[in-house]
Chain A
């Protein structure tokens, strides 16, 4: 086997699957490079990267929940309204009942859980389609927001604003960078390297062929390079700014939910239900419980996203949450999820969300008006999904598709076995 083949198989996975997700990584890189050139280097400047994360963390958080909802074969149209409803209640609870802000955050999450239980109940136990339940919820909670807020804007206290507009603190010696962000980057780099080593060890223990050493090193080098670049960028913002706290919340959620959807039985059940709910039920998956969970989970994340937006805006207003559901749904589909359910990954959705975010940001930096930005975003969404559908129907190998690999799992599957069988058990059922 030639070295090139080796590289292709081991670094990128070498399968035809996931062309869309993979295409998106490629698109993301291309868009970043394109705007970096078009905006004379503004796109990757520290302050812009920081702003980009702050502006979009709440949409990306919604995308996590939405991915799980869509994989399970549902949709949630109510997230924007739920976010606004939770936001106004939390703002009021601090302004009028003088709740301390940490308690108010818990209060907000509890509201999300109650709303989620309400919607989950109708979807899972009564069997009303999620489209209808959440369409009703969209009206219900938007109205609730206006009713409670009286169409007023209610400011929130300083401490609470941290979750939306705060940064990692400054401490330690003056290195010319934000030390906390550097440490975070170092930790991430160590984690990447450690995982690679663990994966190799596991393969050896299982008597499988580990990827050649040089490939592991190349892969690690790319990952560490990206992490180092990003953390230095975030650490070199204006004094007082660094990696945003909302970004940390997002990172924690991405890691936790990625683990849940990939490596736990509960997470795999979501894919099973989305792929073929009847078959899943007959195999012992508790269908109702899974449906209830994804709907409830979505509302909790929506409440969190609402609070982060309110914190960033320093106030809860009557227009909060308008159109968020569409941004989140677009991110998930651009990131490679299937409309019919059963397929999609959290990391793919995050990449999809980032594509939209960078596009939005880059066009704004170029001074393109919102009217044209919307047209462009609409076309990108359509094209991204269309190209993938076309490629899939042609059964073509996609170079782009295999690039997605490192973002999905750090271990490399042996070339002989179908690597996606375990990750997406429902795929055959769906595409068939």
Chain B
């Protein structure tokens, strides 16, 4: 009896499973595997866009631009933001859902660039092209393209603007400057700093420009977490320790928030306004530039970045290789990613009106 039961149990179950197996289709093999860009895909295909949480205006703007731009180009757009609290898990689930839905291209503005490799791998295996937008997704060999502003160039523009600005105020050196850099845990911070130093170093070596405090190392100049109060505190210290009698001519600041903090500190000490650089075209800084306080900022126009990304999608759709202009510099830890770098634009009081002409928010400030 027992034995009979045992065998019958296995037999019944196996029969049931086999019966169902007969109805099932089995696996479809790896028919989906991509690789050949030559094929292209249907013009009305689904394009996924996964963006971080709506914490800055920039991402909200990018999302709207993607939605409209992709629709105009004839694609179906699925633009998703990560939730406010469970950002990484949300983004992972969104990317997986886009893959399941059969998106042909997924554009990712990573919320944490190192925690998406599993999802990117799954998308790649399903034949989806993955484009990293603004932030390079690291530790994955399955990323296809990267599109971003040229951050080294940002630094170079800042360095050059600093020199130009100081020369305009005082035709002959030597000039006293101080250096600031961004958060040490942000990969981009070092890139900005190195870009700027590539311009400033020759002048410093010549003695034409002097870092009066002697603090030239990126470790000494870094501001943890890009915090304004950190920059202000460091500037306060520098003013007391070094600029009791000396004149401060310029400050290299990596972004607008820090630039304004530095200016606040200088003003508080009652010193004349030095030439201060910036980046990001924040509203307050644009006002400050127009008022003649902050010297320059960098305009990284989100519109152009989105437009370029959509151009990549269009090229992939037609079966062409998208245009890239850097196939050497962006190593994400697993491979060197084909990259399209957009040139950033340096903005000073002189060209502010022209630079922000297309920006509905900033244009009125320049008039």
Chain A residues packing against B (C-beta within 8 Å): 39, 42, 45-48, 51, 55, 150-155, 161, 164-165, 175-178, 182, 185-186, 189-190, 193-194, 197, 220-221, 224-225, 228-229, 231-232, 235-240, 309, 312-315, 317-320, 322-324, 360-361, 364-365, 367, 369-371, 373-374
* Interface presence of B206 (CB below 8 A): no
CA distance A197 to B2 in the complex (A): 10
Chain B residues with Cβ below 8 Å from A42 are: 100-101
B16, B99, B117, B185: which contacts A224 (Cβ < 8 A)? B16
CB of A190 within 8 A of CB of B9, answer yes
* Residue B320 at the chain A interface, CB threshold 8 Å: no
> In the complex, A231→B20 CA distance in Å?
10
Q: Decide: B86 and A323 in contact? CB cutoff 8 A.
A: yes
Instruction: State which of A239, A324, A370 has its C-beta within 8 Å of the C-beta of B80.
Output: A370
User: CA of A265 to CA of B234 in the docked complex: distance in angstroms?
Assistant: 64
Which positions 216-236 of chain B face chain A at CB distance < 8 Å?
225
A55-B115 in contact given A189-B16, A236-B26, A322-B86 (Cβ < 8 Å): no
Q: Which residues of A contact B87 (CB under 8 A)?
A: 319, 322
Pairs across A and B, CB under 8 Å, 17 listed = A42-B101, A48-B100, A186-B14, A194-B9, A197-B9, A231-B17, A232-B20, A313-B117, A314-B139, A319-B87, A324-B86, A364-B94, A365-B100, A365-B101, A367-B80, A367-B101, A373-B83
- Let me know if B89 is at the binding interface, CB within 8 A: yes
Nearest to B80 among chain A residues (CB) is A369
Q: With A189-B16, A314-B115, A370-B82 in contact, do A238 and B30 touch (Cβ < 8 Å)?
A: yes
Partner of A320, one of B10, B88, B94: B88
User: Does any Cβ of A come within 8 Å of B169's Cβ?
Assistant: no
A224 CA to B16 CA, complexed, in Å: 7
Other than the known A165-B118, A238-B126, A319-B112, what 20 A-B pairs have Cβ atoms closer than 8 Å?
A: A47-B99, A47-B100, A47-B126, A48-B100, A150-B185, A151-B185, A155-B114, A186-B10, A186-B17, A189-B13, A193-B9, A197-B5, A220-B12, A224-B12, A229-B20, A238-B32, A239-B27, A317-B115, A319-B86, A373-B83
Q: Give the shortest distance, in Å, between A292 (CB) and chain B (any CB).
A: 30
Q: When A236-B25, A239-B29 are in contact, do A365 and B139 touch as well, CB less than 8 Å? A: no
Known contacts A317-B88, A319-B88; decide if A238 and B115 are in contact (CB<8 Å): no
Measured in the bound complex, the distance between the Cα atoms of B271 and A124 in whole Å is 62
Known: A47-B126, A194-B9, A314-B139. A364 touches B97 (CB 8 A): yes
Interface residues in B151-198 by Cβ distance below 8 A to A read 185
Top 7 A-B residue pairs of the complex, sorted by shortest distance between their CB atoms: A176-B26, A189-B13, A313-B115, A370-B83, A153-B114, A364-B97, A315-B114
Enumerate chain A residues within 8 angstroms of B30, measured Cβ to Cβ: 238-240
How distant is the Cα of A241 from the Cα of B189 in the complex, in angstroms?
39
Give which listed residue, A55, A161, A228, A365, contacts B16 with CB less than 8 A: A228
| Residues from chain A with Cβ under 8 Å of B10 in the complex | 186, 190
Kindly list chain A residues whose C-beta atoms are within 8 Å of the C-beta of B20.
225, 228-229, 232
Contacts of A373 in B (CB 8 A): 83
In the complex, are the beta carbons of A153 and B118 less than 8 A apart?
Answer: no
- Closest Cβ–Cβ distance, residue B60 to chain A (whole Å): 12
B72 at the interface (CB under 8 A from A): no
Determine the chain A residues whose CB is within 8 A of the CB of B258 once the complex forms. none
Bound form: Cα–Cα A193–B10 in Å: 9
- Chain A residues near B86 (CB, 8 Å)? 319, 322-324
Given A55-B92, A153-B114, A238 contacting B185 (CB threshold 8 A): no
For B18-55 the 0/1 string (1 means CB < 8 A from A) is 00110011111110100000000000000000000000
Residues of B within 8 A of A164 (CB): 118
Closest to B26 in A: A176
Q: Of B5, B17, B90, B185, which is within 8 A of A232 by CB?
A: B17
A236 near B24 (CB under 8 angstroms)? yes
| Chain A binding surface SS class | helix
Look across to chain A and name the residue whose beta carbon is closest to the beta carbon of B48: A367
Q: Are B17 and A182 in contact (CB under 8 A)?
A: yes
Is B210 positioned at the interface, with any CB of A under 8 Å from its CB?
Answer: no
Taking a contact as CB atoms under 8 Å apart, the answer to whether A224 and B88 are in contact is no
Contact mask for chain B residues 108-136; partner A; CB cutoff 8 A; 1 contact, 0 none? 00011111111000100110000000000
B56 sits at the interface (CB 8 A): no
Chain A CB within 8 A of B245 CB? no
Flag whether B78 is at the interface (Cβ < 8 A): yes
Cα separation A121 to B26 with both chains bound (whole Å): 53
Q: Is B93 an interface residue (CB 8 A)?
A: yes
Q: CB distance B28 to A153 under 8 Å?
A: no
**A177–B21 touching, CB < 8 Å:** yes
B313-367: which residues lie under 8 A (CB-CB) from chain A? 333
Q: Give A367 to B70 CA distance when docked, in angstroms.
A: 15
**Which chain A residues lie closer than 8 Å to B93 at the CB level?**
51, 55, 360-361, 364
- Chain A residues contacting B140 (CB-CB under 8 Å) are 314
Q: Tell me if B85 is interfacial: C-beta within 8 Å of chain A.
A: yes
CB distance from B126 to the nearest CB of A (A): 7
- A193 near B118 with CB under 8 A, answer no
- In angstroms, how far is the closest chain A Cβ from the Cβ of B105? 15
Q: Is the CB of A190 within 8 A of B13?
A: yes
Nearest chain B residue, comparing its CB with the CB of A370? B83
Known A51-B100, A186-B13: A367·B78 in contact at CB below 8 Å: yes
Most chain A CB neighbours (cut-off 10 Å) among B83, B85, B89, B113: B89
Task: Tell me the bound Cα distance from A189 to B16 in angstroms.
Answer: 9
B contact residues around A193 at 8 Å (CB): 9, 12-13
Question: Cβ of B145 < 8 Å from any Cβ of A?
Answer: no
Residue of B nearest to A164 (CB): B118
Shortest beta-carbon distance, A243 to chain B, in Å? 13
Q: Which residues of A contact B88 (CB under 8 A)?
A: 313, 317, 319-320
Q: Which of B29, B82, B90, B100 contacts A45 (CB 8 A)?
A: B100
Judge if B96 is at the interface, Cβ distance under 8 Å.
Answer: yes
Give the residues in chain A near B99, CB-CB below 8 Å. 47
A422 to B126, CA, bound (A): 50
**Contact partners of B13 in chain A: CB under 8 A:** 186, 189-190, 193, 224
Check if B149 is an interface residue, CB within 8 A of chain A: no
Query: Which of A235, A238, A239, A365 sits near B97, CB closer than 8 Å?
Result: A365
How many angstroms between the C-alpha atoms of A165 and B121 in the bound complex?
Answer: 11
**B295 interfacial by beta-carbon distance below 8 Å:** no
Are B118 and A312 in contact, CB atoms less than 8 angstroms apart?
Answer: yes
Note all chain B residues with C-beta closer than 8 A to A194: 9
Q: Is the CB of A313 within 8 A of B16?
A: no
Chain B residues whose C-beta falls within 8 Å of the C-beta of A45 in the assembled complex: 100
Residues of B contacting A47 with CB < 8 Å? 99-100, 126
A228 in complex: contacting residue of B17, B80, B118, CB < 8 Å: B17
Quick one: given A51-B96, A177-B21, A224-B13, are A370 and B90 in contact (CB under 8 Å)?
yes
- CB-CB under 8 A from A370, the residues of chain B are 80-83, 90, 94
Q: Are B112 and A317 in contact (CB under 8 A)?
A: yes
Contact among A176, A313, A365 with B116 in the assembled complex (CB-CB below 8 Å): A313
| CA–CA, A185 and B14, complex, Å | 10
Chain B hits for A238, CB < 8 A: 27-28, 30, 32, 125-126
Instruction: List B contacts of A46 (CB < 8 A).
Output: 27
